[in-house]
Amino acid sequence: MGTIIAIGGMEKQIEDIMGICRKIINQSKKEKPKLLYFPTANNDNKEYSEYMKNFFVENFLCDVDILWLINQKPILNDIKEKILNSDIIFVEGGNLLLLLKTWKKYQIDKMLEEAYQKGTIMAGISAGANCWFEQSFSDSVKGKEFTFVKGLGFIKACICPHYNNEKRRKCFNYEISSRDDLPNIALGIEENSAIIIEDNKITMISEDNTNSNGVHIIEKN
């Protein structure tokens, strides 16, 4: 089974979480890991995707490929080959519903599960962190400020990124304490922090020189 690394967000830019990104790369135990970057949640933003590619190449010597699913018509066999041959999957933040809908359209959810089971590292930020969990607290549903969205379910828990946002935190805490249809374990991940789940072991990491209080693990009962 693989590893989930869920990042709660960043203050401004990817350089703010350099230490967390280094942890993701080191987790692969390879000098030049193959990293597959998913920009789906931010609508395949080309300029930002190239910026992220350069970030991982220049700072960590990764072999980076970008999986375009919206602006280019993908070939299913090519998608599966890229996913299964990657050491690290890194999923960008943005619109969680767009991400999950697009993945289901191309059956990428099943490909990712296969890669996860064989040991691939699954990482992501904000919506890219939400997607791995059974339930996630999201702002991507039209007409609702925050609500739960069902994810891939690799981890049987609820997750709330940007947990340092007071309004989001209060809404999340209220929902998990008042509903019976949610997993018993809830995770609130602040910006500049991440949670690593590997072989049912949990590790928390926060950037140095940050105001983040890290990761909050809440047991409903």
Supply the residues annotated as catalytic. 126, 162
As a whole number of angstroms, the distance between CA 194 and CA 207 comes to 9
* 3-7 and 121-125 beta bridge pairing: parallel
Place of tokens 């072989």: 199
Q: What angle do CA 64, 92, 50 make, to 5 degrees?
A: 45
Helix, strand, or coil here: 118? coil
Nearest to 20 by CA among 186, 190, 195: 195
Helices (H), 150-215: 166-178
Which 8-state DSSP code applies to residue 18? H
As a whole number of angstroms, the distance between CA 53 and CA 58 comes to 9
Helix (H) or strand (E) holding 14: none
